[in-house]
Structure 1
Amino acid sequence: MFAKRKTAKLLAATAMALSVLNVQAWAQSLSEAFKSPSMEAKPRLRWWWPGDAVTDGELRREVQLMAQMGFGGAEVQSFSPNFVTLTPEERAVVNDYAEPSFFAHLRAAAEAAKSAGLSLDYTLGSAWPSGGGEAIPPEKAFTELAMARTAVKGGTTGPIKVELPKRTKRLGALNFFDPRTKDPKYADWGKRLHARARTVAVVAMKGSAPDLKKRSGMNGMTISPWSDVLTSGTLDPASRIVLTDKLREDGTLDWTPPAGEWQVFVFRQFASDVGVLGAAGRGPQLILDHTDPSAFAAHAARAGDPLGKNPPGVRSTFVDSLELMQDIQWGPKLLEEFRKRRGYDLTPYLPFVLQPGWMQAWDEHYSPPYFEAANSDLAERVRADYRRTVSDMMIEGFIEPFVAWNHAHGLKAKFQAHGGAFDTIRGYGLADIPETEDLVHSGDPLFMRLARSAANLYGHHIISAESLVWPDRAYNVTPAEMRRRIDLIMAGGVNSMILHGMNYRFHAEDWPGWHAFQPSPFSLGFSGPINETNPVWPAMKPLAAYMGRLQAVMQAGKSVVPVAWFYGRYGYYIGIEDGGAGKQAGEKAFLAAGYDFDRINPDSIAQARVEGRRLISKGGHEYGVLVLPPIEGIRADTMEAIAGFAKAGLPVFFTDHAPRRDEGLAHAKARDARVKKAVAAAMKAGAKIVPAVELPEAIRAAGVAGNLRFEGDASDIVFVQRIVDGQPVTFIHNRADAARSLTVSLPGVGGVRRWNAMDGSVNPVTASAAADMTQVPLSLSAGESVLLVLDPRTRPQSVAASEVVGSAALPAEGWALSVSGHVARKPYAHDFGKVALQDWSKVSELAGFSGEAIYSRSISVDSSWLKPGTRVSLDLGQVYDMATVTINGRTLPPVIAAPFRIDVTDALRPGPNMLKVTVENVPQNGMIDPGNPALKKLKPVAAGWAAAGRLEASR
């Protein structure tokens, strides 16, 4: 017995020693990663190329520039230079995309990246959606279904005249303005497109027409022919009649309707001539059929195969969000596939599939469907079956072949799964690098969690995001706004940002040179150039370092997400689950209660298991609870799997009510019975129905630990958390436009340090132990974030605030000022002599200026301020938009966001000091041009050093 006890004590002591060593190793490794992020942890740039109008020398220079600024690589996006006047010779070179010269340039850039320790991602195709060139002729172009409806009263003697669908007119790939379509060898492409048109079905049903909203145009462009619905029409499915063989070519239908009010529908398939947006390359630019794997193969042979296998310096290929403009999502084999997969013929039920806004390119939103079924849920079941079939076909026709192609070529697949009519989470999960974007609702962190969810469910390490994108703001995004958006993206679960974007130097003589999505007479464009032509370019180095430090931490260890929140829809937009309200109430309630969540789809449920009352995903992530939103229908096999989880001990909660039926139509009675039986089994095993407002407390009562606990107003607080060797690392962001003061309880007991990713400093914060948690009081200003690391080797402590021992206002006058930059896009430089600080808009010569301004003068510092233990900070006051301080010839790191404060202790000396402040503003004011139709809409913004701050000594 004694020997056993001695052995047990020895083992326990050894385990404790190993635990301490592990914690020490963790602290050292994470600290080193924070100080010196790996290349994988550094941010990347979307690198816009003007087609093939590039040179190896400039590509190599720009790669070196990326490395010098602290980026880990770039994503090559070849693009047709929009709204730039090109000579015929320039246009020909631009359109050498996918030709041997292009791949030679791509290899040169990739080799330069590898030599610099960077890597490239390559967009598999010019622009988006995928397609273009002779590889995608009319026979491989994507298709759409169009619908025309005619109201007919019973008793009308046939034949009757009905409306026929027409192809929706868009500025397509074969438009007259594109010179690439005028080559004689493409002369028959229009006819070949037309030859693919066919009538799919003519269906009649008794019922009423929908009440539609009045349509509003979109700058003359037709994105979708459908109007939003005020009140759905109602159809009697029992009255359905398929009349396809009764329709003549002229729209005459050989049919006499029986008594009643009838709706006659004609459905016609068209091969779409919508073009790849902004595509460079030879020939017409038709979009490929995403349901046809042979179309993808043809595209990959043109746009990818010439790169070869295992290309040095290339990490992955990339597909941007799909954004397919289809009247009704379709594929030539959809009816056939539907019958095989769903077990019945969709043809007589086609009138029920149309729902405006559902996966509508550029404008996904909620509208009621055009038609519901009278006195039943049949229409909703048909729509679920239809969407599942579209999803299956797009995944099998495009996403899986894309991933397989990459793996066969020694590359990773990077994919944006949003904007597609398929299982969004599975789409992300199939890729090696799921990528989201911040354009959705200005960086909505709840939406961005879909990509993080897929990473946890399917076992991926990197969660990428197309980042820093603002619509209608091509020239006035400040570094401070970038920093705040970075925090929001990080709080959305992202750990690898791709900044949108760096533009290859093209037409550089016309400042600021070409950049993708520059303003046009039709639009103010998107976020401006992230390169040397932007005066605030110097801010990118500290921002890149900031992102690198954060991403190094958020790529370490394991993500902590206790809640699996069911998502069974196809496609996604905010409002898809709550009838367009877009409140995201469930997600917000989880976070406010301190519980992070992932969305879990049926595919992941089918591959998950329960161990020790925890749900283990295919990718190895562990969830403490499974919660279902208030849904009517769910697949029977999914509900049966959930019942199995409950029997195995997993806490399962149904919000407000349990599902009542299967989601599909075939064998509905039997499948509904299976759902009900599975729900009953789950309830017997301990699953509960809980009102939405009580969910967080019910989860806590079930013994499921949260990430955090909040005391105070936690609304608009978002967070992510990771465990690194058992220790919590928590990033908290206040997304509100008002300050939040609250107390945060972290899991475990230990000392807490705040890791400042902007300057790399690590400082203790006041904390106190409370039971098995550590409480930290926080005061976060609007948009502020904090990275907290709990260290179990130390105890919580109270940290005394520093005491101000001296303060002196900076003089507002007597500053020597010289500027260099642009006014009205023309070079401008001037020495103003001695000036007072003020907003440049109040100085006639500077009201339209953008560039660099240098303020300088002597200031005096009291010698008592420079005693050991005293630190001196310089608060510059009101600055637009960034500043770099040089004192006595020593240049300090740039300050890029309010408060514009920097520690200047080590640069000062007693008595007189020469202070130089270099201020840069965004390009906006220098771009305003009333005579330019693209730039006259720009409005002036505040600029310069507008008000002085102060020096402050503290100890």
Structure 2
Amino acid sequence: MPAADQPRPLDAHRAALQDPPIEYRPELRWWLAEGLHTDRTLRFEIDAAHRLGFGGIEFLAMDEQAIDHSRYGWGSEEWVHDSQLVVEETTAREMSVSFTSGTNWSNANLPTIDPDHPAAARELNVVVEEVRAGAGRSGALRRIDLDAQREESLLPGHRVAPKTQEFFAVVAAPLVADGVLDADGVLDLTPLVADGALDWEPADDREWRLFTFWSHGTGQTASPSASVNYTVNYLDRAGVDAVIDYWGSTVLTPELRELIARNPRAQMYMDSLELNTWGEGGLFWGASVAREFRERRGYDITPWLPFLTRSVLLMASATTYRYQPTGAQRAAVEKVRHDYVETLTDLYIENMLRPFAAFLHENGILLRSEISYGLPFELTRPGPEVDGIETESLEFGSQIDAYRLLAGPAHLFGKQYSSETGATTRNHMLDHRFYDQIIATQLAAGITKTVLHGWASTAGAEGATEWPGHEGMWPGFSERFDLRQPASEFYPQWNRAVGRYQYLLRQGRPRIDVGILRTDHFVDNMSGMSFLDEAGKRIPDEVAYGRHWMRNRENHWWQDLGMQDAGWSYEFLDGSLLLRDDIVLREGLVQPDGPGYQALIVYQEALSADVAQHLLDWARQGLRVLIVNGARELRLLLRGEHVVNERAASRTPGLDHRDDELAATMAELRGLPTVAEVDDPAQTVAALRRLGVVGRAEFVAENRNVLGYLREDGELLHVYLYHFLYETGEDTVVEVALPGVGTPYRVDPWSGDLAEHRGVRADGDRTVLTVALAPGETALLTVDRSQAPVASAVAAREVVREVGGWSIAVESWDAGENELIVEDRGLGYETREVRPATAVTTLPVTGSDLLPWSDLPGVGPEVSGVAEYRASFALDAAAAPGERLLLDLGSTAGGLGSVVLNGGEAVGFDTSRPVVDITAAARAGVNTVVVRVASSLNNRLIARGYYDDIPDMGLFLLGRQEAHVTVVRPHGLLGPVSVVREG
């Protein structure tokens, strides 16, 4: 341990906790109005984002009404100019900057190709004929009607029909029943085709189906752009080569390259993979797919194609296969389906991610990506190929189990794990606490980079922009974290607070107790948008997030909550990742310099024979393995579909004919002393304990309210705790046992101050912390194991003063006059945009009772904005040594705000437990306090009729056209407010 006069390990973090460096602050997704914004607006917005404390900007072009897309769309001179300016202004402020890629954003697609180009996205389509003996069929093969009208995809963009189609194969299969084919009777008739014609008659009297497969471009486009931009192929190398050529020759100008070279955090962000197909086949395809399938899987895909044709509702997770085999053939067909999507994953990695990342790195750009989900690609295998792995709160409903899905590859390979945060279907409706709870959930899974979804300039196209401003991401979708929000006044304090969490929880290495082997090519990334009850009635987002799913003890993928209740951490990964040379086992730990899994769980029925052999080799070296039978997991929440894995590792996933080899390997594995097997997931914790697993931040007693995350940073342990039952829970006390003995400190995220934590004891070679948490509250602590611990009891709290006699004034926000902004860059035209102003009217309140604004005299249910509360209170004495004085605000109805005591600095507070440390500012005698609290815009927008014609996006995605429904919400300081002495 260091001598008393020597620096201690925690000293290295004090400065960053006081003022978190910009790279740890939350970042923004910025929806630009194509290239319409004037230079003045762009500079104003970037300066505002920087001033409010945001750490970076990810920008993209969103469709703006009433403008000339050929002039302002992606690829135009205006867009290139604006992009350059955004990079220049962010770089000058040391902010990160991210270009945005993804199939719905124009810059992921190309104007240099068309649907028939080799680089364009392709699909395998099918024409189906009925054929019987005695009739047969002859003549030209039936072709795809490429111009046929089909139901439009719910995804943005439109289709441009390709002009050509290429014959691939023709297959015949006997029909057993409606939608059921005899897999053993399938005939590949492709060799019989001559000059595009086939003469064939079945040899028996069964009813047959003839499948003629054609390959053609999907015709998917993205907009807005100066010209039509077509989606590239993610499976053939030609796709990424075309992207690289276009960016290298056209987008990355010398000026832009020079700017990027000055920004160490320049990134390309690949958004969710919202590729779609148009035809009846539903198969993603490319020139190399069939050949690569044969070479990698060892057999021909052609005879199996009828069983791969599918329909899809929005995302790959909602795949429905058009044909099924008979019962006896289902196992083989399931293996083929696995082999197909495994091949697609291989090609996505090798022909898109890997070369794209290499090109970006050559140009000083990092690749951050929402890997795989949305398409039939394995979820975690692409993790090593990118610099940062991103998830999102929208598609996964901010569920801890969903965040664990991608935490495995992020932690195994030391990738920055980030999340888009704040996209819901409740634009402007919800209080700030709702979003704080999303971030709190993410931190519990090791997500330490928040990218807020999102930011939009209030300025937009003349004639199409009304108060509260240009929407960017459509009026019924997502949230805005920009200047239109009354809460923006308090964003500087909030960004510093989130930055402190993100700073400390990036230090050292993650400590994750258990890795769960899990392969998923069709992850349900629509689980977070399943907002219908059994009667088909809409469940509001805030109700689902706050009361359903994980907050109703319903985790989706690992459904037994024993490990979670014990405080153990766990996450998921595809077993094939363990086969990589950069993943090691040492002293019984998987990747000890990363997550350091103490044990691995095998539970799915399918397991690769190679992975099983690897587990056997490692188990002989001391790896602990638990085999769990009977585990149930989510398949598709929208349809209530789950799957039960009756017997773990009972077959290989693909048609590799290695089931017997797997069985023999598993038999050897089961016989080792480091391996256990249970037939009920509820026995998981007990079985792992018998194998010697001890949670590194485990709870002394079961706790069903708290989630935790742990980082080991040399002698320091950084511990994050979160009471996740923010709507339904009660106050809880949790005891957390940590390895080693040391002195704990608690970080105040709103000031960066560190104070010794009261409530600590040694238990052998462990330190036990006692932490009290209110519903929704978080705690951030650091245990310094270089310091000998001093046992202490939990601090006693005493209310010494109730604060009343409030003077209240509400600043009511409403529409003001529009400001016209005109720009003439000498190009022969003017650019015109308007910025709606906000008119603020101060409403003094008669009386001093702390009530919702809707109930305050002279305010009422139509008001949104910021309220100021002034009061004074007397103290007999200031805080004594070892004591703290706290101002407990009771409730702010979830509103963000600040406290100023005796004219000092404004201090923010937790929206779930709004308590401010006033020890340094409080004095004996009279103290004056000013509390400011913001609302959402919900109540004012209801009064203005804003929501009347806006469709409910949660229902729209399900094909239902219904208006948004919201209600007047309580806002303001609700109290009771008290001064608390803690010591």
Counterpart in the other structure of 1:767 = 760
Counterpart in the other structure of 1:554 = 505
Deviation of 1:545 after TM superposition, in Å, equals 0.9
Does 1:661 find its partner at 2:638? Answer: no
Residue number among 707, 721, 740 corresponding to 2:710 in the alignment: 721
Residue number among 609, 623, 638 corresponding to 1:650 in the alignment: 623
Counterpart in the other structure of 1:338 = 293
| Mapping 1:547-696, distance limit 5 Å | 547-573=498-524, 583-585=556-558, 588-608=561-581, 611-617=585-591, 621-631=595-605, 633-656=606-629, 657-666=647-656, 668=657, 671-686=658-673, 687-691=675-679, 692-696=681-685
- Does the aligned pair in 1 maintain the 2:448–2:502 contact within 8 Å? yes
Does 1:480 find its partner at 2:433? Answer: yes
Deviation of 1:805 after TM superposition, in Å, equals 5.8
Give the Cα separation in 2 of the matches to 1:255 and 1:716: 67
Alignment CA distance shift 1:126-1:328 (3 Å): closer
Give the Cα separation in 2 of the matches to 1:651 and 1:840: 58
| Mapping 1:136-151, distance limit 5 Å | 136-138=113-115, 139=117, 140-147=119-126
Q: Which amino acid aligns with 1:296?
A: V
Give the Cα separation in 1 of the matches to 2:702 and 2:194: 67
Counterpart in the other structure of 1:34 = 17
Counterpart in the other structure of 1:280 = 224
Residue number among 280, 305, 308 corresponding to 2:257 in the alignment: 308
Name structure 2 gaps, 5 residues minimum: 528-548, 630-646, 818-835, 952-962
Give the Cα separation in 2 of the matches to 1:816 and 1:784: 29
- Does the aligned pair in 2 maintain the 1:610–1:648 contact within 8 Å? no
Does 1:406 find its partner at 2:360? Answer: yes
- Deviations for 1:507-540, whole angstroms, at most 9, x for unmatched residues? 2873221122232xxxx2222x211111111232
Give the Cα separation in 2 of the matches to 1:647 and 1:379: 35
Does 1:750 find its partner at 2:742? Answer: yes
SS at match of 1:704: coil
- Does the aligned pair in 2 maintain the 1:535–1:851 contact within 8 Å? yes
Counterpart in the other structure of 1:108 = 85
Which stretch shifts more, 67-76 or 845-854? 845-854
Which stretch shifts more, 486-495 or 683-692? 683-692
Does 1:255 find its partner at 2:268? Answer: no
SS at match of 1:790: strand
Give the Cα separation in 2 of the matches to 1:887 and 1:750: 35
Deviation of 1:320 after TM superposition, in Å, equals 0.6
Give the Cα separation in 1 of the matches to 2:865 and 2:524: 40
Counterpart in the other structure of 1:945 = 972
SS at match of 2:623: coil
Counterpart in the other structure of 1:445 = 400
Counterpart in the other structure of 1:224 = none
Q: Which amino acid aligns with 2:488?
A: W
Give the Cα separation in 1 of the matches to 2:51 and 2:155: 43
- TM-score scaled to structure 2, two decimals? 0.81
Deviation of 1:866 after TM superposition, in Å, equals 4.9
Q: Which amino acid aligns with 1:688?
A: A
- Does the aligned pair in 2 maintain the 1:819–1:830 contact within 8 Å? yes
Does 1:295 find its partner at 2:268? Answer: no
SS at match of 2:261: coil
Does 1:489 find its partner at 2:478? Answer: no
Residue number among 460, 467, 478 corresponding to 1:511 in the alignment: 467
SS at match of 1:337: helix
Give the Cα separation in 2 of the matches to 1:173 and 1:755: 46
Counterpart in the other structure of 1:72 = 55
Deviation of 1:451 after TM superposition, in Å, equals 3.2
Residue number among 137, 140, 158 corresponding to 2:136 in the alignment: 158
Deviation of 1:910 after TM superposition, in Å, equals 7.3
Counterpart in the other structure of 2:492 = 541
Q: Which amino acid aligns with 1:80?
A: D
Give the Cα separation in 1 of the matches to 2:138 and 2:813: 75
- Does the aligned pair in 1 maintain the 2:123–2:216 contact within 8 Å? yes
Counterpart in the other structure of 1:225 = none
- Does the aligned pair in 1 maintain the 2:762–2:791 contact within 8 Å? no
Counterpart in the other structure of 2:950 = 934
Q: Which amino acid aligns with 2:261?
A: P
Deviation of 1:755 after TM superposition, in Å, equals 1.9
Residue number among 873, 882, 894 corresponding to 1:861 in the alignment: 873
Residue number among 727, 735, 738 corresponding to 2:729 in the alignment: 738
- Deviations for 1:419-464, whole angstroms, at most 9, x for unmatched residues? 232232122321011112122332122222333321232233x212
Give the Cα separation in 2 of the matches to 1:135 and 1:619: 45
Which stretch shifts more, 136-145 or 491-500? 136-145
- Does the aligned pair in 1 maintain the 2:379–2:519 contact within 8 Å? no
Deviation of 1:54 after TM superposition, in Å, equals 3.0
- Does the aligned pair in 2 maintain the 1:136–1:295 contact within 8 Å? no
Give the Cα separation in 2 of the matches to 1:379 and 1:207: 16
Give the Cα separation in 2 of the matches to 1:887 and 1:876: 13
- Does the aligned pair in 2 maintain the 1:457–1:617 contact within 8 Å? yes
- Does the aligned pair in 1 maintain the 2:71–2:226 contact within 8 Å? no
Give the Cα separation in 1 of the matches to 2:14 and 2:236: 49
- Does the aligned pair in 2 maintain the 1:483–1:543 contact within 8 Å? no
- Does the aligned pair in 2 maintain the 1:317–1:412 contact within 8 Å? yes
Residue number among 784, 790, 794 corresponding to 2:783 in the alignment: 790
Q: Which amino acid aligns with 2:695?
A: G
Deviation of 1:650 after TM superposition, in Å, equals 1.8
Q: Which amino acid aligns with 2:873?
A: V
Give the Cα separation in 2 of the matches to 1:109 and 1:473: 29
SS at match of 2:22: coil
- Does the aligned pair in 1 maintain the 2:510–2:594 contact within 8 Å? no
Deviation of 1:409 after TM superposition, in Å, equals 1.2
Q: Give the superposed CA RMSD.
A: 3.8
- Deviations for 1:754-797, whole angstroms, at most 9, x for unmatched residues? 22323323331302222222223333332222222222313242
Give the Cα separation in 2 of the matches to 1:704 and 1:450: 22
Q: Which amino acid aligns with 1:659?
A: A
Q: Which amino acid aligns with 1:441?
A: F
Deviation of 1:945 after TM superposition, in Å, equals 3.1
- Does the aligned pair in 2 maintain the 1:146–1:267 contact within 8 Å? yes
| Mapping 1:405-444, distance limit 5 Å | 405-417=359-371, 418-444=373-399
Alignment CA distance shift 1:756-1:136 (3 Å): farther
Does 1:241 find its partner at 2:193? Answer: no
Counterpart in the other structure of 1:707 = 696
- Does the aligned pair in 2 maintain the 1:766–1:796 contact within 8 Å? no
Deviation of 1:261 after TM superposition, in Å, equals 4.7
Deviation of 1:402 after TM superposition, in Å, equals 1.5
Which stretch shifts more, 771-780 or 285-294? 771-780
Deviation of 1:405 after TM superposition, in Å, equals 1.2
- Deviations for 1:863-904, whole angstroms, at most 9, x for unmatched residues? 525576686654445534334445565563244614444355
Deviation of 1:383 after TM superposition, in Å, equals 0.8
Alignment CA distance shift 1:245-1:933 (3 Å): farther
Aligned length: 875
- Does the aligned pair in 2 maintain the 1:204–1:243 contact within 8 Å? no
Q: Which amino acid aligns with 2:864?
A: S
Name structure 1 gaps, 5 residues minimum: 1-15, 182-188, 211-232
Does 1:835 find its partner at 2:786? Answer: no
Give the Cα separation in 2 of the matches to 1:948 and 1:458: 46
Which stretch shifts more, 726-735 or 296-305? 296-305
Q: Which amino acid aligns with 1:724?
A: D
Does 1:169 find its partner at 2:156? Answer: no
